[in-house]
Amino acid sequence: VALGVDSAGRDGGGPFGSVVAVGGRIVGEGVNRVTGTPDPTAHAEIEAIRSAAATLGTNVLVGAVVYASCEPCPMCLAACYWARVDGVVFAAARYAAAAVGFDDAFLHDELAMAPADRRLRVRHVDGVDGVDGGAPFAAWVNNEARTPY
């Protein structure tokens, strides 16, 4: 929470902070840097996960817990799943963020809809320029030097 207070308005970021801890030891931290970078994915939780992954030298953060000043948005929650953290602890609910202009309710609403009903048009095309859409996956599976994900 202190990182969120400290980052409020600093370097173009919003009032959000996050740390990643393993066994009670902080291994990564981040603050919101969306407008300061400019990078729409530079949310505090994602910055903290990136920092922890760099510190630990791995993209798999099993055993880690993400602590956040506010309830993670859907993107940040997805990043927590992809990082395979053990848990997430947050202070303020998303409704507190919404009350001051950081409203992600539309994302929750959109994700609950069928893809065809969403505002963002997403189309599936099977392949581009004559290349089968599954070709990259076949190449990855056949690469004996691949790093398991």
pLDDT in tens, 38-68: 999 999 999 999 999 999 999 999 999 999 9
Band of pLDDT at residue 2, cut at 50, 70 and 90: confident
Q: Which residue from 13, 61, 71 is spatially nearest to 37, judged by alpha carbons?
A: 13
Residue 124 pLDDT: 84
Band of pLDDT at residue 90, cut at 50, 70 and 90: very high
Rounded Cα distance between 6 and 113, Å, is 36
pLDDT in tens, 60-81: 999 999 999 999 999 999 999 9
pTM of the model: 0.89
Q: Give me the chain's average pLDDT, please.
A: 91
Phi, psi of 30 (to 5 degrees): -160, 155
pLDDT in tens, 107-134: 999 999 999 999 999 888 887 777 788 8
- Structural domains of the chain, with CATH: 2-142 (3.40.140.10)
Residue 4 pLDDT: 57
Tell me how far apart the 2 most distant CA atoms of the chain are, in Å: 53
Q: How far apart, in Å, are the Cα atoms of 75 and each of 72, 81, 108?
A: 8, 10, 10
Here the tokens at position 102 are 């950081």
Q: Which residue out of 45, 47, 71, 144 is catalytically annotated? A: 45
Judge whether 45 counts as a catalytic residue: yes
